[in-house]
Amino acid sequence: MSARYVRGVQSNKVAACVKHFALNNQENHRMEANAVVDDRTLYEIYLPAFKTAVQEGGAWSVMSSYNCYNEEFVCHSSRLLNDILKGEWGFDGAVISDWGGVHDTDGAAHGGCDLEFGSYTDGVAKSVPAAFDNYFLAQPYKAKIVSGELPVEELDDKVRRALRLNFRTMADGCFGSFLSPEHTEACRKIGSEGIVLLHNANVLPMKKDARKIVVMGENAIRPMVVGGSSSSLKAQHEITPLQGIKNACPDAEVVYARAYYSGIPTGGPYTYGHYDLTELRPAQELLSEALSAMEGADYVIFIGGLNKSKGQDCESADRRSYELPYGQNELIETLAAARPDLIYVNISGSPVAMPFADRVGAIVQAWYLGSETGNALADVLTGKVNPSGKLPFTFPVALEDGPVKTESQYPGYRDASGVWQVHYDEGIYVGYRWYDTMKVKPQFPFGYGLSYTSFEYGKAKLSSKKMGKNMTVKIPVKNTGSVAGAEVVQLYISDPECSVDRPVKELKGFEKVYLEPGQTKTVSISFDRDALSFFDAEKHCWVAEPGRFKVLIGASSEDIRSEAEFSL
């Protein structure tokens, strides 16, 4: 995915900047956390997406992360930036620091940072005269070059990379546009295709003859384009979920009940960007209103989740809790007791606990969908679009089910020398690799997502029983339902006979196929020896051991539909 995204962006003479390289896996203490990670884990888990973006995508720039590795700030890390990124992977673009991420001239000069971003000023609250001249890689760097304290060869390399970036992004008459109808259409399409249907007890899609629809929850009216620190955007418009449902159901009475409040009850004005979200009524009154509004409703839709406030999918702070905030769990259970067909729409960018999952009629994971949020969501709820999204991570039942068990893993600790240490003791067992291997049942597994139709998988067939340079798997997939839809066919590799510990299976490819009712298409997915390999830290190379392997074809990491064996 990273390679295709990079190629798409750069086809328009716009440089993709791949970030944050690397090991930026927590926000708490992100400016100082030192990642203590073994090389096998580094190469197998935390580097592959970057490597793909650089080698297959041809990325023109990479942004270094704030955190430390080997007790060096990453933008000073010669191992990560010079040895791996520029050396092993042959990256010929420019490395730019994150905002204020450079800490001294020598470290950035030697460590592989090419462009310094934001030191000495935050651009808003404080600044100094001629701020750019005072950057570590500006006048201070020049002085050390002139004095001979630092080699000019390092500077030459940085200049070449900066010039190469300039030449690559020259417009050549390639003019674009902003806020076009095509942009709006693309935003809506991308949003609706990304939505994931997690649960459906024959409640969705909504029928067209609905007369009364009740929409609940603060997230139905709360804009999400603003907020979240650096993820806050200035958009021309944002269609809220409530407005989107009204747009899609013009003949129905659409009633709104707030149900919960994220501010301080009865505590005066509560503004969010340019929006006034003030609510003066107490929680009990909001609940009573919601229960009353449900009477006679054809559909009840609760739109909740997170909201990008601090501690909720927001930069510079991790999630405060895995639970939904503002008492939503208890509220949803109360509402679902009165309306078991309640539709819950979860707005978030990360997993949340859903103890009510088996007591509601449907669950829709809607993410943060941008300007066309409400219209994209309504397209899925009403069946105009058949949901085809799949989860890109696991939803555990509880946080304790996951691989992080100790304080040294998270949030870390300050050692005797004052360094904030974070130990990646879980190694390669993260995400579905952990849940599958340890046989821990998640709430919703990696790769999972329902549809308004059904798909039947045939038998997987390999291009050969013995692995050569590469291998192709073909599998017929049939739409056995009554509506057109898309399925994401996933290919996992299992290595049951290995000299090292390995996960039960690992995703090595996927393909999305669109099918009309009754239609069958053969899906083809290819892979090479890299898909069979593990990283041998002692030899510092990837190793594919001779022996027997399995190809597992599934609709999710839990739902394997067909398998085949081959040997290397």
Indicate which residues carry an active-site annotation.
98
Adjacent-strand bridge partners of 343: 301, 362
Q: Quick one: tokens of 14?
A: 């716009």
> What are the structure tokens assigned to 109, written together?
């000069």
Neighbours of 118 (CB within 10 A): 16
User: Which has the closest alpha carbon to 506: 493, 523, 496?
Assistant: 493
3-state helix, strand, coil in the chain (%, to 5): 25, 25, 50
How far from 383 is each of 207, 244, 341, 389, 527, CA to CA, in Å? 9, 14, 17, 14, 35
Q: How many helices (H) and strands (E) does the chain have?
A: 13, 26
Residue with tokens 């990646």: 424
Residue 401's alpha-carbon distances to 25, 396, 408, 421, 434, in angstroms, are 19, 7, 17, 23, 10
| Closest of 488, 552, 505 to residue 197, by C-alpha | 488
Query: Cis before residue 517, ω within 30 degrees of 0?
Result: no
Query: Is 458 within 8 Å of 475 (Cβ atoms)?
Result: yes
How far apart, in whole angstroms, are the C-alpha atoms of residue 265 and residue 279? 7
Question: How many other CB atoms are there within 10 angstroms of residue 411's CB atom?
Answer: 15
